[in-house]
């Protein structure tokens, strides 16, 4: 390999490493685990949204044959911390004093079979004292609203840098508020126009095909072994250590293949109950939720976004004040972090002289909301990109030109102290505009047809994320890649293995991605924030380069040569025209048992107190989108004739995987744009099952669906790569809403753009 | 911790880390593993010592209900290499063309239960064509002896340094010969006396309480996962890779607790059959041998040792030529390496001007012989130390004085190119002589009583052994120790964890020794040659020191201090009078998920082409012994009134563990000295079961049993430690034989010193 001139593995479309196993049904998921003596768990869920728990009688359930344990608040002793949460420890393993949403966990049973456990649940008698329910953001903030928490649960506020701050429980039913300010609000007075608009954002469920699941067992009474469908095993281990009051070296978190996560599978989900029941029974316990229970466990944040934007008549953006209200549901989960991200991103990738933003996490008696693909960026892109078109329209400027005028340049920081933009935003926007035929259609509009553009935007790679990776190679050149990035379907294993193969001059097939177990897998904060390539990729790259150097140094020493005169090629040392096999060299030096070369790589974004989030963002994740739609004026039905999405992979490690990520994200965005939504009647979820909750299917795809993987080459990852997988989600809904406006002159500021909502808007406008 | 002045953990007697689990019956051994669908294996063993395999009919066995697979030579295809071995690949997984000893593996069955498998074995019909058996070394080397192998199986000869060499199959029924020579044989002509004596050494079985066992399964058809009771998982993985033609990253070898090994549990034992049956059945297969089968699987080497020693009349040793014939049994196993070690060590730790040695591995139709505690050192110490007393007697010099005159000095190399002696040999010898009251008893002998001394000697730590270790510490100071040293009962986990705790300023309880799995455990050649502290200990020490430096650097950076002004104490940074907790510092920098500090340590003895074994030995393992015995002249029964053994731990990491190792080894030596022996009638083992094969029990202990752990401080290991665990075995038999001579004037040159043998010698002498 001569890496300066040629890439042999990276950049080539290749079959995914997990394809064979998955196609043959051999890929092991958590629910495939079967252990001798394993019991099955089920939980009793509250049918009431908000109530004080007056009493529980589980005696009949305990006596049912085949039942091994019933867990209620009465079984929670001082030996554990009974609540968990990312920042605010407000979610109980089972309800303690109250239930806070329909579906809240009241009790759990471990039994010989799931059927017995289900039967036992029906024998548990619960006495509730009902309280007034809080159904929505508006309800929660209204005067005299019932309080979900009478006392603020313990929580922490992260350190923030210049201009950013946060408060815990700034007011009743608000668990967290994030604030950011730069420049001076005085500049609003200098603006030619100030536009204030409000946007509503709907709530989706992640709809991962593999539900939440965990299999737990205790070893020798003081060690936990848990296999789980989880995106962040190390964070989970730390939280389990806190809950179960155990050192981290007594907790082994293992993660098999994960059947989709989209953000939901972070932190405690099925694990605490499985672990506690395993301790109570002395048996392994499997707790696998049903699909319907997923809807009751974690969701996206519905939101209200209020934007006040000051602009000059020539279209120059000047100032933006924003207020965002996130519906956090009944427990805080990752809401504070989503609030931070939404609050930070709401200006979009445009140049302002002043920004002020507040983002509130509002508690309601609905299912808890947590991380979701886009992580606050879906909400903000929806509002920001809708308002961009609205302002352009009001100023009589073309929306494309309006964006082009205000977009920040390549290398320009988003806000003071922040890292420079690492994509040419205009290049991407021009690309999708041209692909959709934007200018031609603006010149020659078609009846009931419209085109719209949007630009999704988020800081990617996570905050402050450290990652470590390890590569080892045995005597005959068999490569082991150890890192904590979970394969959740995104193809990260293939991409990271390709990086290693490229650097070590090996075919990708020589690299095996090793199973994840916190006991020995190098530390990683979690598989989220599109960090696999951008953060872990850097750690993997360094590990592989360090290993390569180690091998070349070893060979140079053996051969009496200089390392720079040698190259590594398919586990041979290339020296001039010779290709010398490494295995005999290794056994000659290390003995017949051979050896393993091992190297670690580390990456962490440096702390920077001048940056608002105290760390400059790892990379900027963009999603450019364009839609060409037709509206049926009689029904309000939108037909998407063509959808264009484009992300910037920096350098595609595996183009097929990149494209898959952008397209998958775009289809998820399409669902949210047009029909996918968790529908509540008050506090009751009306469509919490797969049939009623409608995800996009093949027939929902646009007639023409184009995805373009840009490779602008500015990413921080290996070979210039950037993270993928969330950007494609972001521009779809605003692009379609903008196209709807283009087609009809009607602005719909709430999602989804369903026929009734569109029809009502058309009627109101007519 | 101020390590220059005080040790907090190291050197203190402490409860072993595994004590709790073992006492509570919670320590997991291979046979405790139960997997869903697991089958059980049994093997059919040859009742004939030497025969051509004419045919096998397993059809009836295959049809027995509950039988899932029968493995015979007919199931061995080209997709595997059908034979294995350390250096010479001569041992078939199941018999191919011949059977070569009573107990050789002919076929294997996997069935629902062991009972069904046993029943199936009885249905297998085997047709043998008997061949003349080769029962002993003398038989094997006699003219016209039958040949075990008509063609030499493939094998390798390691590289040797100055004066050493080896040959594969130098003659019929000899698979390997090791040679060493230094100085010139001409010096014999200058000697005042040349003494030639021959010694016979008996064969023991290791008698590990946990028999050989393996549980194997295949994942997705091309990956092996095997848990096994094994001392060298990485070497095993390499050999399994060769046999099953798989890359090493497709083979995961896991080692739970091991219930004793004493050398036997190296390389392939139960694993190939378990793995092959698992492949044939698509189910996990457990193959656990019985105790009786252990006797048919691996044994110590019986030996004949011929010593020719030239000496001056003042007692100065001048020259020694030796020939050693090891009974390797039917397959070579580790015989070549044992031959190397026996051939290298036969001069003992004395100063010569000329040494010449040849050591032959002789094949016989008996159970294969392999590594055994002492590894060639038991055979050579027996012969060398017996002859030392014989020569002293012939010259009329006191044996103690004779030894003192000829012992090499502290720091003096054993042979040219070798590393210096790292114990003061005279100090140790004086210690045991004084403890047994040697000089007083020589002045005032008692009737039928005698005292004897001996010095066991071996190069410890293995040849060319590289080792790697990893220490990681999580946010709250929970320590993970990853290394490949198997806990086989020797207490290595406790000792290595103590080293880590000492260096990191933590209580030993904070360190968890992580389970071994070749997928992720750092590389190690194997748990043998007393290498745990002397080789792995150095790797562990370096890992811990590197980690300590990393943490202090991190803290210095956070605190704006210099690392040398900081100390680490119970996961606090000691800075002057302050003790600052590390966890908040870590989360402040790495974020709320925390971090793990990780460091690797590496050790390998440097290659040195001037050293006969191409590597200077890691350390010298000594065992000094003294015995005070009484002989019953009527029966020949020896009663040991007092036995003194002493090893040099350099620095005892855990004095209780060191003492346990020396005492355990000495009792094993006592068994071999007095009664423990595999008794063959021709090629038939007569006492291959626990009742008939007599290991020492509590009542066999000497009336007075003294062990003294010297801490001379010259070891290469952490804090000056040296390996332990084999030295105590070495001096016991020759010390007792020398005491027997002292008591009776009769020299017995064969083991064991059983009443019939002693009585016969007494009668012959009278």
CATH number at residue B214: 3.90.1170.50
> Does any domain span residue A171?
no
Type and span of the H or E element at B361: strand B354-363
pLDDT at residue A309 above 90?
yes
Do the chains contact at B247 and A463, CB–CB below 8 Å?
Answer: no
How much of chain A exceeds pLDDT 90, in percent?
95
Span A603-619, average pLDDT: 90
- At a CB cut-off of 8 Å and minimum separation 6, what does A522 contact? A467, A468, A469, A470, A482, A483, A484, A539, A600, B596, B598
Q: Which of B340, B523, B546, B570 to mutate to test the interface with A (most CBs of A within 10 A)?
A: B523
For A480, which of B156, B221, B519 is closest by C-beta distance?
B519
Same domain, B127 and B236: yes
Q: A498 lies in a domain?
A: yes
Interatomic CA distance for residues B630 and B637, integer angstroms? 8
Q: Do B592 and A247 touch (CB under 8 A)?
A: no
Mean pLDDT of chain B, nearest integer: 96
Which of the residues A588, A593, A598 would you substitute to probe the B interface, choosing the one with the greatest number of B C-beta atoms within 10 Å? A593
Q: How far apart are CA A345 and CA A377, in angstroms?
A: 7
Beta strands in B141-173 (DSSP E): 164-171
| Chain A residues closer than 8 Å to B592 by CB | 86-87, 156, 158, 235
pLDDT at A673 over 60: yes
Residues A259 and A403 in one domain: no
Question: Nearest C-alpha of chain A: how many angstroms from B257?
Answer: 14
Q: B346 has which bridge partners?
A: none
Q: Which residue of B159, B247, B466 is in closest CB contact with A595?
A: B466
What's the rounded Cα separation, in Å, for the pair B219 and B296?
Answer: 31
Using the beta-carbon criterion (under 8 Å), do A234 and B593 form an inter-chain contact? yes
Residues A506 and A519 in one domain: yes
Residue A517 sits in a domain whose CATH number is 3.30.365.10
Q: What is the pTM of this model?
A: 0.96
A525 contacts on B by Cβ (under 8 Å): 591, 593
Same domain as B95, residue B55 = yes
Shortest CA gap A675–chain B (Å): 36
Q: Mutation test of the interface with chain A: which of B469, B478, B520, B557, choosing the one with the most A Cβ atoms within 10 A?
A: B520
- Expressed in percent and rounded to 5, the helix, strand and coil fractions of chain A are 30, 30, 40
Is A194 a member of any domain? no
Asked whether the beta carbons of B626 and B441 are under 8 A apart, the reply is no
pLDDT digits (tens, 9 = 90+) for A226-247: 999 999 999 999 999 999 999 9
Within 8 A of A249 by CB-CB distance, chain B residues are 474, 478-480, 512, 514
CB-CB: which of A219, A476, A525 is closest to B591? A525
Mutate which: B166, B225, B249, B257, vs A, most A CBs within 10 A: B249
Residues in contact with A235: Cβ distance below 8 Å, sequence separation at least 6, in sequence order: A266, A267, A525, A526, B592, B593
Inter-chain contact B156–A592, Cβ cutoff 8 Å? yes
Mutation site, A160, A215, A248, A461, interface B, largest B CB count within 10 A: A248
> pLDDT of A317-358, one tens digit each?
999 999 999 999 999 999 999 999 999 999 999 999 999 999
> Within this chain, do residues A262 and A319 fall inside the same structural domain, yes or no?
no
Question: What pLDDT does residue A2 have?
Answer: 40
Distance from CA of B681 to the nearest CA of A (A): 37
Contact A26 B466 (CB under 8 A): no
Minimal Cβ distance to B480: which of A249, A478, A480 = A249
Mean pLDDT in residue range B228-232:
97
Picking from B248, B250, B598, the nearest residue to A522 by CB comes out as B598
Nearest-CB residue to B595 (from A24, A87, A523):
A523
Which candidate in A31, A467, A474 is best for mutational testing of the B interface (most B CBs within 10 A)? A474
Question: What does the alpha-carbon distance between residue A679 and residue A671 come to, in Å, rounded to a whole number?
Answer: 14
A150 lies in a domain?
A: no
The answer to whether the CB of A229 falls within 8 A of the CB of A29 is yes
B5 part of a folded domain:
no
**Residue-averaged pLDDT of chain A:** 96
Same domain? B733 vs B626: yes
Among B214, B266, B227, B230, smallest CA distance to B87 is for B266
- Please name which of A736, A706, A748 lies closest in space to residue A640, comparing C-alpha atoms: A736
Contacts of A475 in chain B (CB under 8 A): 238, 248
Contact across the interface for A514 and B523, Cβ inside 8 Å? no
Q: What's the rounded Cα separation, in Å, for the pair A530 and A371?
A: 12
Distance from CA of A512 to the nearest CA of B (A): 6
- Asked if residue A336 and residue A380 are part of one domain, the reply reads yes
E strands present in A484-529: 511-513, 516-517
Size of interface A-B (CB pairs under 8 A): 145
Q: In 3-state terms, what secondary structure has residue A455?
A: strand
- Residue A521: list chain B partners with CB under 8 A: 520
Rounded CA separation A415/A180 (Å): 11
Q: Is residue B161 part of a domain?
A: no
Query: Best mutation site among B515, B592, B604 for testing chain A: the one with the most A CBs within 10 Å?
Result: B592
Are residues B464 and A595, on separate chains, in Cβ contact within 8 Å?
A: no
CB-nearest partner of A595 from B523, B595, B596:
B523
Residues B729 and B663 in one domain: yes
DSSP B490-508: S-HHHHHHHHHHHHHT--G
Query: Which range has the worst mean pLDDT, A49-58, A300-309, A464-473, B109-118?
Result: A464-473
Chain B residues in contact with A571 (beta carbon < 8 A): none
Minimum distance, in Å, between the CA of residue B235 and any CA atom of chain A: 5
* Domain final position from A553, A575, A603: A603
Radius of gyration of chain A (CA): 27
* Cα within 13 Å of Cα(A449), Cβ side: 16
Nearest CA in chain A to B466: A590
Q: Beta partners for A450?
A: A629
Nearest C-alpha neighbor of A33 from the set A247, A255, A206, A230: A255
Rounded distance, CA B46 to CA B42, Å? 13
- The reply to whether A142 falls in a domain is no
Mean per-residue pLDDT for A599-623? 92
> Angle between the A537-559 and A582-590 helix axes, to the nearest 10 degrees?
70
Q: Which residues of B touch A604 (CB under 8 A)?
A: 590
Mean pLDDT of A46-53: 98
- Residue B482's closest chain A neighbor by CA? A520
Q: What span, in angstroms and rounded, lies between the C-alpha atoms of B193 and A38? A: 76
Question: What is the spatial distance between Cα B164 and Cα B224, in angstroms, rounded to a whole number?
Answer: 39
Cα gap B225→B219, rounded to integer Å: 7
CB contact under 8 A, B592 and A474: no
Helix (H) or strand (E) holding B328, with range, is: strand B317-329
Tens of pLDDT, residue by residue over A565-589, are 999 999 999 999 999 999 999 999 9
The domain total for chain A is: 3
Q: Is B446 inside any structural domain?
A: yes
One domain for residues B288 and B237: yes
| CA distances (Å), origin A489, targets A10, A260, A485, A646 | 19, 6, 11, 20
B142-157 pLDDT, tens digit each: 999 999 999 888 888 8
Strands of B104-163 (E only): list them.
105-111, 125-130
d(CA A665, CA A658): 11
Reduced to 3 states (helix: H, G, I; strand: E, B; else coil), residue B272 is helix
User: Residue A550, SS3?
Assistant: helix
CB within 8 Å: B591 and A480 = no
Contact A523 B589 (CB under 8 A): no
From chain A, pick out residues whose CB is under 8 angstroms from the CB of B521.
520
Instruction: Give the number of other CB atoms < 10 A from CB of residue A190.
Output: 12
Distance from CA of B609 to the nearest CA of A (A): 11
For A495-549, how does the pLDDT look when each residue is reduced to its tens digit (9 = 90+)? 999 999 999 999 999 999 999 999 999 999 999 999 999 999 999 999 999 999 9
Q: What integer pLDDT is reported at residue A3 of this predicted model?
A: 44
Nearest Cα to A742, choosing from A424, A520, A441?
A441
**Rounded Cα distance, B736 and A482, in Å:** 54
CB atoms A593 and B522 under 8 Å:
no
Domain stop point among B262, B294, B326? B294
pLDDT class of A5 with cuts at 50, 70, 90: low
Contact A514 B519 (CB under 8 A): yes
How far A457 CA lies from chain B's nearest CA (Å)?
24
Distance from CA of B86 to the nearest CA of A (A): 9
Q: Which residue of A has its CA nearest to B246?
A: A478
Domain boundary among B556, B572, B603: B603
Same domain, A358 and A259: no
Per-residue pLDDT reduced to its tens digit, A143-189: 999 999 998 888 888 889 999 999 999 999 999 999 999 999 999 99
Q: Is the peptide bond before A752 cis (omega within 30 degrees of 0)?
A: yes
Rounded Cα–Cα distance for residues B440 and B462 (Å): 39
Spatial neighbors of B579 by CB under 8 A, at least 6 apart, are B569, B572, B573
Contact check, Cβ <8 Å, A249/B463: no
Residue B483 has pLDDT above 80, yes or no: yes
Instruction: For residue range A386-433, list pLDDT tens digits in order.
Output: 999 999 999 999 999 999 999 999 999 999 999 999 999 999 999 999
DSSP 8-state code for residue A736: H
Query: Do residue B593 and residue B670 come from a single domain?
Result: no
Q: Are residues B247 and A220, on separate chains, in Cβ contact within 8 Å?
A: no
Owning domain of residue A566: 465-603
Chain B partners of A598 at a C-beta cutoff of 8 Å? 468, 522-523, 600
Residues B283-313 as b/e (b if ≥16 CB within 10 A, e otherwise) read: bbbbbbbebbbbbbbbbbbbbbbbbbbbbee
Q: Count CA atoms closer than 13 A to B471's CA, side-chain side.
A: 33
- Residue in A308, A334, A332, A304 with CA at minimum distance from that of residue A319: A308
Residues B643 and B622 in one domain: yes
């Amino acid at each position: 390999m001569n890496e300066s001139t040629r890439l042999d593995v990276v950049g080539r479309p290749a079959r995914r490493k997990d394809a064979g196993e998955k196609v043959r049904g051999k890929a092991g998921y958590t629910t495939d685990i079967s252990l001798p003596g394993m019991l099955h768990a089920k939980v009793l869920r509250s049918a009431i949204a908000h109530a004080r728990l007056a009493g529980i009688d589980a005696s009949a359930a305990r006596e049912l044959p085949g039942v091994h344990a019933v867990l209620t608040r009465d079984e929670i002793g001082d030996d554990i911390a009974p609540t968990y949460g990312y920042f605010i420890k407000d979610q109980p393993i089972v309800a303690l004093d109250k239930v806070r949403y329909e579906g809240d966990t009241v009790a759990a049973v471990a039994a010989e079979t799931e059927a017995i456990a289900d039967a036992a649940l029906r024998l548990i008698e619960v006495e509730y004292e009902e309280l007034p329910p809080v159904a929505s953001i508006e309800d929660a903030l209204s005067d005299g609203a019932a309080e979900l928490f009478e006392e603020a649960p313990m929580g922490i506020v992260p350190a923030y840098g210049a201009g950013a701050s946060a408060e815990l429980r700034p007011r009743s039913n608000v668990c967290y508020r994030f604030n950011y300010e730069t420049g001076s609000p005085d500049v609003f007075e200098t603006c030619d126009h100030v536009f204030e608009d409000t946007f509503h954002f709907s709530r989706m469920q992640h709809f991962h095909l593999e539900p939440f699941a965990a299999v737990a067992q205790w070893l020798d009474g003081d060690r936990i072994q848990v296999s789980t469908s989880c995106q962040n095993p190390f964070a989970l281990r730390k939280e389990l250590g806190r809950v179960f009051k155990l050192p981290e070296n007594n907790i082994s978190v293992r993660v098999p293949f994960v059947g989709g996560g989209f953000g939901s599978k972070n932190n405690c989900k099925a694990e605490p109950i499985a672990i506690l029941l395993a301790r109570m029974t002395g048996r392994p316990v499997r707790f696998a939720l049903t699909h319907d229970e997923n809807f009751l466990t974690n969701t996206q944040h519905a939101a209200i976004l209020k934007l006040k934007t000051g602009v000059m008549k020539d279209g120059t953006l000047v100032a933006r004040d924003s207020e965002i209200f996130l519906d956090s549901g009944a427990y805080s989960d990752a809401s504070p972090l989503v609030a931070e991200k939404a609050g930070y991103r709401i200006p979009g990738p445009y140049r302002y002289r002043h920004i002020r933003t507040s983002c509130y996490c509002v508690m309601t008696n609905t299912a808890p909301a947590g991380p979701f693909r886009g992580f606050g960026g879906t909400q903000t892109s929806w509002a920001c990109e809708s308002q961009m078109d609205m302002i352009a329209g009001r100023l009589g400027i073309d929306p494309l030109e309006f964006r082009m005028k205000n977009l920040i340049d390549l290398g320009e920081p988003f806000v003071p102290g922040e890292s420079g933009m690492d994509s040419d935003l205009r290049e991407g926007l021009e690309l999708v505009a041209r692909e959709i035929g934007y200018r031609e259609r603006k010149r020659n509009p078609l009846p009931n047809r419209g085109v719209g553009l949007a630009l999704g935007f988020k800081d990617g790679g996570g905050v402050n994320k450290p990652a470590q990776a390890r590569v080892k190679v045995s005597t005959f050149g068999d490569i082991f890649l150890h890192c904590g990035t979970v394969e959740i379907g995104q193809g990260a294993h293939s991409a990271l293995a390709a990086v290693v193969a490229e650097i070590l001059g090996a075919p990708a097939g020589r690299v095996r991605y090793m199973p994840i177990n916190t006991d020995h897998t190098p530390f990683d904060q979690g598989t989220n924030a599109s960090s696999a390539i951008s953060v872990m990729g850097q750690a993997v790259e360094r590990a592989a380069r360090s290993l390569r150097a180690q091998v070349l140094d070893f060979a140079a020493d053996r051969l009496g040569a200089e390392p720079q005169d040698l190259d590594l090629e398919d586990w041979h040392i290339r020296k001039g025209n010779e290709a010398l096999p490494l295995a005999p060299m290794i056994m000659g030096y290390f003995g017949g048992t051979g050896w393993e070369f091992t190297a670690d790589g580390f990456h962490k974004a440096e702390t920077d107190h001048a940056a608002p989030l105290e760390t400059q963002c790892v990379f900027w994740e963009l999603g450019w989108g364009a839609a060409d739609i037709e509206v049926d004026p009689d029904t309000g039905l939108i037909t998407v004739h063509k959808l264009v999405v484009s992300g910037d992979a920096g350098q595609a490690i595996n183009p097929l995987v990149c494209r898959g990520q952008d397209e998958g994200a775009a289809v998820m965005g399409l669902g949210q744009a047009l029909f996918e939504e968790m529908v509540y009647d008050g506090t009751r979820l009306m469509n919490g099952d797969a049939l009623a909750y409608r995800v996009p299917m093949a027939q929902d795809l646009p007639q023409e669906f184009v995805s373009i993987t840009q490779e602008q080459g500015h990413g921080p990852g290996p070979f210039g790569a950037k993270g993928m997988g969330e950007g494609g989600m972001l521009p779809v809904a605003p692009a379609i809403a903008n196209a709807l406006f283009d087609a009809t002159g009607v602005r719909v500021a709430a999602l989804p753009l369903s026929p009734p909502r569109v029809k009502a808007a058309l009627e109101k406008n007519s």
